[in-house]
Amino acid sequence: MIIDGKKVAFLILEELKEKVKKFDKKPGLAVILANDDPSSRIYVASKEKHSLNLGYKSCVYRFDNSITQGKLTELIHELNENPDINGILVQLPLYSHLNESEIIELIDPRKDVDGFHPFNIGKLYAGFNPYAVCCTPKGIVKLLKAYNIKIEGKNALVIGRSNIVGKPVASLLSNENATVTLAHSKTQNLKEYTKNADIIVSATGKAKLITSSMVKKGAVVIDVGIIKQDNGRLVGDVDFEKVKDVASYITPVPGGVGPMTIACLMENTFELFLLHNKR
């Protein structure tokens, strides 16, 4: 069965739209783009479009590579203090002259809409409630739940150990009582791990890394990869056409995990808005 991330995301966004209408104040999302990566530009434009669609206040700060660590630090301090801003998102990666971890640590954890601040990551790891849970991992677990896919007791294999997807999704799945293995580019005999997995989450950005002979019959396959081919087509980490005949559930690229990331970002912004407006 093909998991329709677009549909599940649409339902989340529709529900949010109704909730937002009940408030006079608008949730505010600030997005900082300080890199020259073409995909980041597309992601940021999409974040802005979705914010405006929901009636949020959207502030996007785009910088060329003359931006300094000091100027970015000033901006984060300003946004931390700005009562109209509920969520601050720093699109990653940053220009290589900027110190990424230092910038992320400057964000007020109560405005850390991406859930990347060590305070929120630590809470996630500990199984406590972070102010916000990283969007792609949150979206993946929501998709599994939307399709009533059991997580508890299952062998979940996460491939890729990034701070944005791999590590936090491994924590989330562990919190959901899966038995989690975290594989990465230095893992030997990946197939031994994939063959044993009930749930595979692949987040490597390597096209067709996961072939049908690597997947156990009936496994659930979640593809986080988005790779633009020379012909302009988007593909994932998984050889979709072949793996779909082996898997019980599989996410397509595009239309699987991607729309869920955006929907969860919008949901996180709204949740932080509620937190800041709690009486």
Binding site for ligand GUN (CB under 6 A): 89-92, 114, 135-136, 164, 261
**Closest distance to ligand GUN from the beta carbon of 81 (Å):** 21
DSSP string, 16-29: HHHHHHT-SS--EE
- Cβ closer to ligand GUN: 93 or 218? 93
Q: Rounded to whole angstroms, how far apart are CA atoms 128 and 270?
A: 20
Catalytic annotation on 47?
yes
The string of DSSP letters for 66-128 reads T--HHHHHHHHHHHHH-TT--EEEE-SSPPTTS-HHHHHHHS-GGGBTTS-SHHHHHHHHHTS
Q: How far is the CB of 212 from ligand GUN (least distance, A)?
A: 28
Query: Which pairing describes strands 87-90 and 57-62: parallel, antiparallel, or unpaired?
Result: unpaired
* CB nearer to ligand GUN: pick between 136 and 269: 136
Task: Provide, rounded to whole angstroms, the least separation between the CB of residue 263 and ligand GUN.
Answer: 12
The two beta strands, 227-228 and 220-223, are unpaired
CB within 8 Å of 43: residues ≥ 6 apart = 91
Q: Based on the residue annotation, tell me whether 244 is a catalytic residue of this protein.
A: no
Catalytic pick among 47, 111, 138, 154: 47
Q: How far apart are CA 261 and CA 136, in angstroms?
A: 5
Residues near 201 by beta carbon (within 8 Å), at least 6 away in sequence: 140, 156, 157, 158, 159, 165, 169, 173, 222, 224
- Pick 114 or 198: Cβ nearer ligand GUN: 114
Among all residues, whose Cβ is closest to ligand GUN?
A: 92
Which of 133/183 has CB closer to ligand GUN?
133
Q: Which is nearer to ligand GUN, 137 or 239 (CB)?
A: 137
Marked catalytic residue, from 4, 6, 49, 91: 91
When the beta carbons of 39 and 196 are compared against ligand GUN, the nearer one is 39
Smallest distance, ligand GUN to C-beta of residue 15, A: 21
Answer yes or no: are the C-beta atoms of 150 and 160 closer than 8 Å: no
Query: How far apart are alpha carbons 256 and 189 in whole angstroms?
Result: 27
Name the amino acid, one letter, at 199: I
Question: Could you write out the DSSP letters of every residue in 225-256?
Answer: --EE-TTS-EE-SB-HHHHTTT-SEE--SSSS
Taking the complex as a whole, the smallest distance from the CB of residue 213 to ligand GUN amounts, in Å, to: 30
Active-site option among 111, 112, 114, 198: 114
Q: How far is the CB of 224 from ligand GUN (least distance, A)?
A: 10
The SS3 of residue 202 is strand
Q: With contact defined as beta carbons under 8 Å apart, do 35 and 95 qualify?
A: yes
Q: Is 36 a catalytic residue?
A: no
Hey, which residues are catalytic here?
47, 91, 114
